[in-house]
Amino acid sequence: MELEEKTRDKEKKALIIRKYQQYLKLEKAFSGNTIEAYLTDLDKLLRFLEEEHIDILEVCLDDLRRFAAGLHDIGIHPRSQSRIISGIKSFFHFLTLADYREDNPSELLESPKIGFKIPEVLTVEEIDTIISAVDLGKKEGQRNRAILETLYSCGLRVSELCNLKLSELYFDEGFIKVEGKGSKQRLVPISPRAIKEIKYWLIDRNQGKIKRGFEDYVFLARWGNNISRIMVFHMIKELAEAAGITKNISPHTFRHSFATHLLEGGANLRAIQCMLGHESIATTEIYTHIDRNMLRSEIIEHHPRNIKFRKEREFH
């Protein structure tokens, strides 16, 4: 009898998770990677509940708080804790939507406080130095140059760059069409310099191997399919090292730099939000913090009072 009950509970749980997966895919329009991350984080909670002999439909706020405290106790970074809790809140929201529960015990569950961290930003000169470090004598040289110019010119996420299609390039109009998070599309202006670099790359691309099914992708690996995020990450790391840049950078650094330079040039925050594909203006506002910090540095460096103070200290 007990075995039958356990089997029924297992089947019920599997059905709920399957329906939650469908909800993430169809209702939220999340990518495969995002769905996998949500389910991985949910599995942590399910294991905890199983150990505590708590039914998933009978969870209360105290249970969730004990789970969250456990994440802290085993040393999981606050940012990762916050992500896991966000996923759990999404799951319990689904349970109420799907009428599995009348209440949502996660509503009052708090995420850990995360200190504000300013992302690394490259100067225009540093970006030019990295691009100049590309060896155009190599087969993939022009491709890499076009990749860097496109990342910086358009402020793309690396996944958006890897999935960019030829059919989404509108060079005559000066735009590209990008599919961002949740399959949301947006038009992004592209610079004449990036257009020029991509056109040079297309000459090489069309002479190389192209796998069936990848004919429409802009940036291809040498074996004929579209490039991966890992490839772009390693390429940027190697070029930064070759250029003597010691900052800890990634493809996302080009996106941060793009937004920061736009803001410094006087661009409207809402316009930057549209360019980056941010749903919330709050996400974009991180760049105002960068701008204020840079302004402060400029004042400290160049204000007459500070120059005089430094000279007096040097004299003494």
Residues identified as active-site: 157, 181, 252, 255, 278, 287
- Sign (positive or negative) of CA dihedral 127, 130, 132, 135: negative
Q: How many angstroms separate the CA atoms of 225 and 184, rounded?
A: 23
The CA distances from residue 306 to 294, 300, 301, 315, in Å, are 16, 6, 7, 14
Q: How many angstroms separate the CA atoms of 191 and 112, rounded?
A: 41
Q: How many CA atoms lie within 13 A of 276 on its CB side?
A: 27
Q: How many angstroms separate the CA atoms of 204 and 198, rounded?
A: 10
The residue type found at 72 is H
Query: Nearest CA to 287 among 307, 302, 265, 304?
Result: 265
